[in-house]
């Protein structure tokens, strides 16, 4: 039969496991990245009234280590211009205001976004809107041209014309010879310094699903299950041994009374033989009580001899008396 202690322990353990399962996040899930006040000061808080919001972007920028998240790469541009306040532009111009939530400097201006020095960071700068497909299509794949037009009008420039443009010159009418299209000199691409693997922060990876807190909680749960189960097993065995020892002690107390071994009924006295049928008809509880009384042979014999003089008729009459009559009878017996 299962002990109540085992049932209670199992119920508590089941409730604990279910509670942890409901509270713990699913395996492999990652919570959205939470930005601190300093992070928002770097990337700029999203403006609900802005023309472009983060949820409107369809980013397809490819990097060597995976698919990028638009504007999530930390650059030296934001660090110098905004954090250090060398030339803050987040609040200047329509494009900067509507895109202040991210780090998009290199998309339009180029440059070396990993160089900490000003000169190295400004190598390879290009004019904005010179190539809108390259500048904008990574986030606005389907409507980059339409989105670029308002900004071009505000700047007073023509989309696709910049110092870095490679469009052929338009031939003048009346020229006697066809001039060969000459390509503009290519802008020298900045050479990025090689960084060790430990110096590169991959912002595109999800947060690590193996949380130290979850590991500690799991270890504690396993320890509780194993330790609690071992304790219950040990405690149940201890209680059983205690009960067995108590029973054995009661049996051992009666052992001295059975010093003589009876091998044949002929060895028994005649009075004992006459008593055997009566003993056979006794129930187990009565036999046990008799053994306990006779475990101390001398006192047991005195007790049985005293009980033998009781008149059962008088005893039956006394059972019918009420408490007051019994008190009077006891008082009379005491005086006598």
**Per-residue model confidence (pLDDT) at position 253:** 53
CA distance 305 to 60: 107
**Domain enclosing residue 90, as ranges:** 37-165
CA distance 67 to 59: 8
- Run of H or E residues at 63: strand 62-63
- Reduce the secondary structure of 158-192 to three states and give it as a string: CCCCCCCCCCCCCCCCCCCCCCCCCCCCCCCCCCC
Tell me, yes or no, whether 149 lies in a domain: yes
Tell me, yes or no, whether 135 lies in a domain: yes
Tell me, yes or no, whether 198 lies in a domain: no
Tell me, yes or no, whether 196 lies in a domain: no
Tell me, yes or no, whether 74 lies in a domain: yes
**Per-residue model confidence (pLDDT) at position 64:** 38
| CA terminus-to-terminus distance, the chain | 56
CA distance 145 to 138: 12
DSSP 8-state symbol, 62 = E
- Run of H or E residues at 219: helix 212-253
Tell me, yes or no, whether 83 lies in a domain: yes
The rounded average pLDDT for each run of 10 residues, N- to C-terminus, in the chain (336 residues) is: 72 81 61 48 49 46 40 69 81 79 79 83 80 78 82 77 44 43 49 49 53 84 87 86 76 52 72 86 90 89 86 83 85 80
**Per-residue model confidence (pLDDT) at position 71:** 45
**Per-residue model confidence (pLDDT) at position 262:** 62
For residue 66, the cross-strand partners are 63
CA distance 67 to 65: 7
Tell me, yes or no, whether 256 lies in a domain: no
If one counts the domains in the chain, the total is: 1
Tell me, yes or no, whether 157 lies in a domain: yes
Full-model pTM: 0.31
| Residue among 13, 1, 6, 5 nearest 224 (CA) | 13
CA distance 105 to 126: 11
**Per-residue model confidence (pLDDT) at position 39:** 46
């Amino acid at each position: 039969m299962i002990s109540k202690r085992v049932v209670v322990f199992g119920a508590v353990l089941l409730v604990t496991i279910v509670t942890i399962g409901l509270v713990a996040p699913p395996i492999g899930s990652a919570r959205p990245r939470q930005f601190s006040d300093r992070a928002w000061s770097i990337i700029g808080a999203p403006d609900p009234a802005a023309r472009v919001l983060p949820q409107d972007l369809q980013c397809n920028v490819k990097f060597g280590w995976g698919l990028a998240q638009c504007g999530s790469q930390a650059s030296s541009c934001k660090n110098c211009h905004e954090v250090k306040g060398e030339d803050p532009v987040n609040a200047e111009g329509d494009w900067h205001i509507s895109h202040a939530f991210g780090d998009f400097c290199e998309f339009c201006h180029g440059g070396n976004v990993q160089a900490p020095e000003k000169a190295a960071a400004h190598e390879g700068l290009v004019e904005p809107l010179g190539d809108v497909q390259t500048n904008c299509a990574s986030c606005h794949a389907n409507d980059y041209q339409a989105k670029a037009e308002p900004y071009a009008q505000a700047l007073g420039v023509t989309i696709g014309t910049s110092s870095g443009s490679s469009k052929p010159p338009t031939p003048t009418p009346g020229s006697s010879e066809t001039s060969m299209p000459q390509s503009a000199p290519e802008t020298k691409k900045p050479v990025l310094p090689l960084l060790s693997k430990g110096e590169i922060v991959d912002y595109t990876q999800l947060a690590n699903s193996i949380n130290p807190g979850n590991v500690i909680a799991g270890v504690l749960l396993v320890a509780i299950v194993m330790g609690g189960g071992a304790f219950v097993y040990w405690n149940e065995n201890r209680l059983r041994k205690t009960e067995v020892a108590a029973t054995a002690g009661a049996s051992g107390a009666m052992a001295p009374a059975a010093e003589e071994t009876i091998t044949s009924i002929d060895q028994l006295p005649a009075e004992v033989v006459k008593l055997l049928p009566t003993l056979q008809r006794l129930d187990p509880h009565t036999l046990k009580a008799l053994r306990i009384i006779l475990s101390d042979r001398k006192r047991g014999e005195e007790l049985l001899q005293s009980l033998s003089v009781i008149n059962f008729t008088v005893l039956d009459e006394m059972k019918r008396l009420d408490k007051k009559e019994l008190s009077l009878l006891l008082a009379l017996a005491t005086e006598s």
